[in-house]
């Protein structure tokens, strides 16, 4: 029986409404909508959560409130527990990217959930015990306590990569770049530039001219010019050359 | 000249001290310490930032305040701009993972910086224009405005993956798992279990016994048993069997 629901986020005994709201907002940013609260300290609804959610609850995030974790796990077939300590429990372990990939691969075999503990104390051991997976982030061991909503954010961003965007290993693309300029256009641009520099008396002394040209070309070539940018640059050279010409005409008069 | 400093985070015209503090905290979580503020609305220092930082400023995050972006860019050799819109500007584009990898690869050639705009308005066009790179996240187009500190968090988590932990593609490991049990131990465990179930009269009717055994084995085998877990489970079977035996002894008496 295919169950194509996105993973649920479970907050176990969250304390601050602000964090619940911020978690809901970042869930919605990355396409997640099933938020389950186990024994929220300040009850529900919570005005601080509403404020921090930036409208996420109206934009599709549903909240259910449960007295126990067991009740919150209804319909959950795979459960990952976010934890900074591995606790010596025998479980599979991975980072947020691996958890997101696993949750994604399991879509169709039941809903998954990612569970986060309270702000100060994290998850209790009996909650970690029923998880299938420990999700842990590579944090600085000297300063490893993440804000709760930030911890939720890290998973959600990985979920977004899996479902909404390019995978990390394909992530460096050139969507914003136009057609790269062919080399011959670059050469014509260099020659145009050097020609005008020559006229301006830039290349001096003559025996250093080749080296000066090479240095200029080496610097310019790194810019990965597009055709449009080559046109723009050549326009700039032309404008400079004309301006200089005019100035000289004035001086010559 | 090698410059092995970690990337700076630049917040351009941030409004809320809470976001500055939360950004500092998550920077420190993932090993970043150079926070530069351009024209923070409420000035600096900011008590709300202090509160939300969870001690990050005492734990190594330094803050510098600048009137202009140009001043904040002192010493920066590569600049990525976080933006939800690609704006038709000709630049390289990538997600947070690609930006983190690029910033990491460039260590040794000068410091990098990742720049984030104001809460409501994002980065102004003249700031985006001087960036080398546009960093954009795969967000739900229907709800794409991230909280400022969450946007910082997504980059910082990718930085942590590159520098502190396994890469995403190596992230699914079994650090918490002991030695897997050899198959022959699993077979002995199954036989032990089935033997006791047989004695308990579980397998009935007899013609269904093979199917019942197969179903049990198929379910149990999915657990990826370690040797220790096999021992534990066999202990449990033994205890149940002894308990049942005792109960029967009582009944037989």
Range name among A160-174, A205-219, B113-127 with the lowest pLDDT average? A160-174
**A67 and A154 co-located in one domain:** yes
- Among A112, A135, A163, identify where a domain stops: A163
Nearest CA in chain A to B143: A29
pLDDT (tens digit, 9 = 90+) per residue, A53-100?
Answer: 999 999 999 999 999 999 999 888 899 999 987 766 667 899 999 999
Q: pTM for this structure?
A: 0.74
A217 φ, ψ (degrees, to nearest 5): -65, -40
**B61 and B93 co-located in one domain:** yes
Nearest to A165 by CA among B184, B98, B237: B98
**A60 and A146 co-located in one domain:** yes
pLDDT for A223 equals 67
pLDDT for A235 equals 73
- Tell me whether residue B170 is in a domain: no
Three-state DSSP at A80 gives strand
- Among B163, B197, B215, identify where a domain stops: B163
**B133 and B18 co-located in one domain:** yes
pLDDT for B203 equals 79
Looking up residue A117, the CATH number of its domain turns out to be 3.40.1280.10
**A189 and A154 co-located in one domain:** no
**A134 and A199 co-located in one domain:** no
pLDDT band at residue B172 under the 50/70/90 scheme: very low
- Reading the block at residue A187, the tokens are 């050469």
- Tell me whether residue A130 is in a domain: yes
Range name among A136-145, A208-217, B39-48 with the lowest pLDDT average? A208-217
- Tell me whether residue A126 is in a domain: yes
B86/chain A closest Cα distance in angstroms: 6
- Among B131, B163, B195, identify where a domain stops: B163
Structural domain tally of chain A? 2
Range name among A26-30, A106-110, A154-158, A222-226 with the lowest pLDDT average? A222-226
Nearest to B144 by CA among A96, A160, A12, A232: A160
ipTM of this predicted complex?
0.73
- Tell me whether residue B250 is in a domain: no
pLDDT for B207 equals 83
pLDDT for B14 equals 98
Q: What is the 3-state secondary structure (H, E, C) of A100-160?
A: HHHHHHCCCCCEEEEEECECCCECCHHHHHCCCEEECCCCCCCCCCCCHHHHHHHHHHHHH
Strands (E), B140-239: 172-173
Interface test with A, best of B54, B144, B172, B232 (most A CBs within 10 A): B172
Residue range B6-29: average pLDDT? 98
The segment with the largest mean pLDDT, out of A25-34, A169-178, B227-236, is A25-34
**A106 and A153 co-located in one domain:** yes
**Strands B133-135 and B76-82, sheet pairing:** parallel
Residues 220-239 of B with CB under 8 A from A: 224, 226, 228-229
- Reading the block at residue A100, the tokens are 């997101």
Sheet holding A34-38, edge to edge: A62-66, A34-38, A8-12, A111-116, A76-82, A133-135, A92-94, B172-173
**A139 and A202 co-located in one domain:** no
Q: Does B29 touch chain A (CB under 8 A)?
A: yes
Q: Which domain holds residue A224?
A: 183-242
pLDDT (tens digit, 9 = 90+) per residue, B134-161?
Answer: 999 999 999 999 999 999 999 999 999 9
Interface test with A, best of B143, B162, B167, B179 (most A CBs within 10 A): B143
- The yes-or-no verdict on residue B47 having pLDDT over 80 is yes
**B102 and B211 co-located in one domain:** no
- The yes-or-no verdict on residue A50 having pLDDT over 70 is yes
Given the structure tokens 């014509």, which residue do they identify?
A: A188
CB contact under 8 A, A160 and B173: no
- Tell me whether residue A3 is in a domain: no
Residue range A182-203: average pLDDT? 79
Cα B185 to the center of its chain, rounded Å? 36
**B101 and B150 co-located in one domain:** yes
Alpha carbon dihedral A152, A156, A159, A161, in 10-degree steps, equals: -130
Q: Does B89 touch chain A (CB under 8 A)?
A: yes
pLDDT (tens digit, 9 = 90+) per residue, B201-219?
Answer: 777 788 888 877 777 776 6
- Note the residue count of chain A: 253
**B16 and B107 co-located in one domain:** yes
- Tell me whether residue B173 is in a domain: no
- Tell me whether residue A169 is in a domain: no
Residue range B45-64: average pLDDT? 97
- Tell me whether residue B178 is in a domain: no
**B197 and B153 co-located in one domain:** no
């Amino acid at each position: 029986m295919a169950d194509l629901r996105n993973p649920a986020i479970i907050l176990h005994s969250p304390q601050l409404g602000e964090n619940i709201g911020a978690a809901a907002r970042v869930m919605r940013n990355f396409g997640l909508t099933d938020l389950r609260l186990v024994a929220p300290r300040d009850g529900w609804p919570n005005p601080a959560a509403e404020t921090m959610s930036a409208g996420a609850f109206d934009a599709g995030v549903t909240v259910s409130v449960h007295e126990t974790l067991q009740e919150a796990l209804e319909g959950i077939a795979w459960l990952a527990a976010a934890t900074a300590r591995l606790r010596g429990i025998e479980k599979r372990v991975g980072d947020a990217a691996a958890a997101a990939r696993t949750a994604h691969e399991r879509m169709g075999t039941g809903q998954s959930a990612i569970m986060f503990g309270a702000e100060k104390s994290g998850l209790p051991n009996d909650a970690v015990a029923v998880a299938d997976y420990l999700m842990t982030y590579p944090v600085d061991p000297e300063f490893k306590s993440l804000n709760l909503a930030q911890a939720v954010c890290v998973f959600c961003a990985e979920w977004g990569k899996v479902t909404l965007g390019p995978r990390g290993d394909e992530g460096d693309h050139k969507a914003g770049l136009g057609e790269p300029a062919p080399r011959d256009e670059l050469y014509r641009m260099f020659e145009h530039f050097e020609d005008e520099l020559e006229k301006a008396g830039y290349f001096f002394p003559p025996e250093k001219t080749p080296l000066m040209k090479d240095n200029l070309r080496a610097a310019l070539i790194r810019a990965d010019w597009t055709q449009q940018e080559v046109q723009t640059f050549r326009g700039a050279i032309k404008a400079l050359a004309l301006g200089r010409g005019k100035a000289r005409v004035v001086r010559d008069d």
